[in-house]
Amino acid sequence: MTDLSRKQSTAAKKKGESFGETVRTLFWAILIALGVRTFAFEPFNIPSGSMIPTLLVGDYLFVSKFSYGYSRYTVAFGLPIFDGRILGSEPERGDIAVFKLPLDGKTDYIKRIIGLPGDRIQVTGGILHINGQPVKRERVEDFVYTDKGRTIRTAQFVETLPNGRTHRIIEESDFGFADNTREFTVPPGHYFAMGDNRDNSTDSRFPDVGFVPAENLVGRAEVIFLSLDNETPFWQLWRVPFETRYSRLFDAVR
């Protein structure tokens, strides 16, 4: 073999090794990313105002997958690897949870867990009742926000759940359809979820959502890592520095 042939052979071998190394690196990177997404944390963004004032449109947050254990809905791409939940733990009343819509098992919803298995839930005159007892609701300052260029001022309240956890809600009035409901009894293995924007939330009060099966829970909302104003798309990177709500960065979700 001539010197030229040897050089060409060596170059080809190195090129092949370099390509193989790149493929292996990509494989492990994808595998690690899928592992983190499945077993640890997954990013979600807020596309609607159903959780105002706690979460705003344009918030990006991390959801912990390990908080409630694992089901087919926590696995990447929703692969039906197993039924039920493993290493599961119960959500606490007041948790903000991401879950798959029971109607289709695909659409992600994010709401606050209000009712636990066996609870009786009812809204009367805008006041939440749990097991026949009205939940304390204290009027505080109005909540002011913008929506598609409009400034909106809405009555805001601090709600205190039976376990002592507090959170803020907004109400446009106490006379809407969702402000007066029948009494719901949460079945075993299910939860009752509601949005903090009580008059603008499709949640367990409505048949399109209903009770949330434990298997459908994806995880618990933990922290906001980015918040973009004016409905700025994440991919428009040149707008991000000017549209970021810096005061919301790294806020814990409660």
Predicted confidence (pLDDT) per residue in 89-122, tens digit: 899 999 999 999 999 999 999 999 999 999 999 9
Q: Residue 204 corresponds to which amino acid?
A: S
Helix, strand, coil in percent for the chain, rounding step 5:
25, 35, 40
Closest C-alpha to 108, from 219, 232, 241, 9 = 219
Model confidence at 66, pLDDT cuts 50, 70, 90, reads confident
- 194 and 126 both lie in a single domain: yes
Model confidence at 147, pLDDT cuts 50, 70, 90, reads confident
- 192 and 115 both lie in a single domain: yes
**In-domain check, residue 178:** yes
Give me the DSSP letters along 27-76. HHHHHHHHHHHHHTEEEEE--SSTTTTTS-TTEEEEEESGGG-B-TTTSG
List, by residue number, the catalytic residues. Answer: 50, 111
- Tokens representing 226 are 């980015």
Structural domains in the chain (count)? 2
- Tokens representing 253 are 């979700």
- 130 and 223 both lie in a single domain: yes
Count Cβ atoms below 10 Å from residue 132 Cβ, excluding itself. Answer: 8
Q: What is the arithmetic mean of pLDDT over 116-135? A: 98
- 210 and 114 both lie in a single domain: yes
- 31 and 138 both lie in a single domain: no
- 11 and 130 both lie in a single domain: no
Tell me the pLDDT tens digit for each residue of 185-229.
999 999 999 999 999 999 999 999 999 999 999 999 999 999 998
CATH number for the domain harbouring residue 244: 2.10.109.10
Decide if 108 contacts 218 (C-beta within 8 A). yes
Rg from Cα positions in the chain: 24
- 181 and 203 both lie in a single domain: yes
Model confidence at 9, pLDDT cuts 50, 70, 90, reads low
Residue-range definition of the domain harbouring residue 15:
1-39
**In-domain check, residue 139:** yes
Model-level pTM?
0.82
**Which of 154 and 5 is assigned the larger pLDDT?**
154
**In-domain check, residue 253:** no
- 26 and 111 both lie in a single domain: no
**pLDDT at 21 > cutoff 80:** no
